[in-house]
Structure 1
Amino acid sequence: MLYSLPQDLHFIDGPRIASFQALEKMSETSTQSQTKKLDTAKGADAYNPSNLKTYDTLVFGVVSPYGWNCSAEKLISFFNRNIARAAEPYKSNPGGPPLTRILDIGVGTGYFPARAPLPKWTEYVLVDLNETCLDVTLPVIERAHPEVGTNATKVVGDFLAQGDDSKSLFAKGNGLPEGGFDAISLMFLLHCLPGPPARKAEALGRMGRLLRPGGVVFGATILGKGVSRNPLARLVLWLNNYLGVFDNHEDDAVGILVPLQKMFNEVRYEVVGCMLLFEASDPRCY
């Protein structure tokens, strides 16, 4: 079950926090003295045609259920519910935009969209810094959803990039219109990004500019702090951070959710094992 974030809330896996301000103070403290230089490509470059062949089996068949204690079925259900939510308005509003527009950032292998109930009126945009992931995922979607495949496109982009960076999601000519998407997916992305959790949440907030009214930003990320870990989880967490695939030792639910609530009027979350599942909608003025 996903929980909303009111001004008074229950801290995940811990005691009640008296107020949102107290929780906010905890978040500020957790990000002090973290000035790590951004190197988004380091995590993205870890994926190649060879290891992507075994990725789904290893991650969703072994590590996620037995290490992170979050089953593939749980993640698929979460993803599918948000896709169905994005498509719902167009079932009853034939006079609206002709296509449900989904933006998928950090596409991996296409594991989730291949199992999603994508209606035939879907436009699916794939974004990743790693072109190999894009090249692997696009055919997966075309095979799983032939009627959607003709409306599936890929964009090389950097989720954290800003300003005049040509790989920014807001750069001119990348085909990502502001106010253009019904759902933005960030499944298994944040834990691969550099920087403290507040910086990742700030980038999440910018996604509000890309949402249509009623749209949702959603995702799942592995937490490095504030959750219990079994031996397998500790090993995989250490190894991936050591190799530079992950950068999430400082990522906790507080550090992500508190900044996110400043940027969206509605934030919902659930912690499942070591995994944070989140949804954010109704962006504040950015």
Structure 2
Amino acid sequence: MIDPLIQRAQQAYTPARLAVYDALVLGLFCSLVWRCPRRSMVRLYERAAGAAHLDIGPGTGYFLDRCRFPVPDPRITLLDLSAECLQASARRLARYRPRTCRANLLEPLPLPSGHFDSVAMNLVLHTVPGGWDAKGVVFGEVARVLRPGGTLFGTTVLAEGVRMNALTRRLLAEQHRRGNFQNQGDGPDGLARALREHFPVSRVVVRGSVAVFRATA
């Protein structure tokens, strides 16, 4: 049984909304509202993505499409609960022949242990219900599927412990009302603590109202 809150958040990713996602969310919202521009996220991918890469919550495939991988033919797996997101990102990344996996993040991932060089969770965790204790189970599963020395990286919009302007507060409240965001109470300290429980090395940096994180298995 899928949590109704997860189902509600997934309903936001319709084909019509995905068609404007890059311009509206990644372009306008990331820069003006959350104050962490998408170019910073592209750089994060280029620094951390490996030859065997798992992308959790790929959205439209924007970042993978622009990433310069360390090898010309990376082995990419796309994981999401939304069939629409998987179809859109797989189509955009067809040149890499990505594997797709439809799965719920709050359940054991149907993926082999020690398989990936890198895992990305970019703009994902703020859509997952529950506090960091509940969301932290995801990090345990990610640590399991990473090879020793592999890297988890990503970003998430925070609702606590960061500076917000009036626009950010208003838009965050609207996302909560619609059920698109489930990040009530999410702050950087809780994220850092959850990462430390599963990774020997981790780092969280706040940019605007976004946590940029990286951890090594």
- Where on the TM-score scale, by shorter chain, does this alignment land: which range? over 0.9
CA deviation profile, 1:150-199 (whole Å, cap 9, x unmatched): xx11111111114xxxxxx13xxxxx211100001100000000001221
Partner amino acid for 1:120? P
Determine whether 1:207 maps to 2:142.
yes
Distance 1:44 1:79 in 2: 24
Distance 2:174 2:12 in 1: 13
Which of 267, 271, 277 is the aligned partner of 2:212?
277
The alignment's C-alpha RMSD in Å is 1.4
Partner amino acid for 1:57? A
Other structure's SS at 1:78 match: helix
Determine whether 1:178 maps to 2:144.
no
Distance 2:194 2:122 in 1: 19
Q: Bigger radius of gyration, 1 or 2?
A: 1
Compute the displacement of 1:256 (Å): 1.3
Residues 201, 38 of structure 1: alpha-carbon distance in 2 compared, 3 angstrom cutoff: farther
Compute the displacement of 1:54 (Å): 0.6
Compute the displacement of 1:61 (Å): 1.5
Alignment of 1:1-286 (within 5 A): 39-83=5-49, 86=50, 100-118=51-69, 119-142=71-94, 146=95, 148-149=96-97, 152-162=98-108, 169-170=109-110, 176-282=111-217
Partner amino acid for 1:44? Q
Compute the displacement of 1:38 (Å): 6.9
Other structure's SS at 2:196 match: helix
Other structure's SS at 2:197 match: helix
Compute the displacement of 1:206 (Å): 2.2
CA contact (8 A) 2:188 2:204 kept: no
Partner amino acid for 2:65? A
Give the alignment's TM-score, normalised by structure 1.
Answer: 0.72
Distance 1:54 1:125 in 2: 24
Compute the displacement of 1:141 (Å): 1.0
Q: Which residue of 2 aligns with 1:7?
A: none
Partner amino acid for 2:23? T
CA contact (8 A) 1:201 1:257 kept: no
Distance 1:276 1:201 in 2: 15
Residues 263, 155 of structure 1: alpha-carbon distance in 2 compared, 3 angstrom cutoff: same
Q: Which residue of 2 aligns with 1:19?
A: none
Q: Which residue of 2 aligns with 1:17?
A: none
Gaps in structure 2 of 5+ consecutive residues: none
Other structure's SS at 1:260 match: helix
Q: Determine what percentage of the aligned residue pairs are the same residue.
A: 32
Say how many residue pairs are matched: 214
Other structure's SS at 2:186 match: coil
Partner amino acid for 2:216? S
Compute the displacement of 1:41 (Å): 2.1
Give the alignment's TM-score, normalised by structure 2.
Answer: 0.94
Gaps in structure 1 of 5+ consecutive residues: 1-36, 87-99, 163-168, 171-175
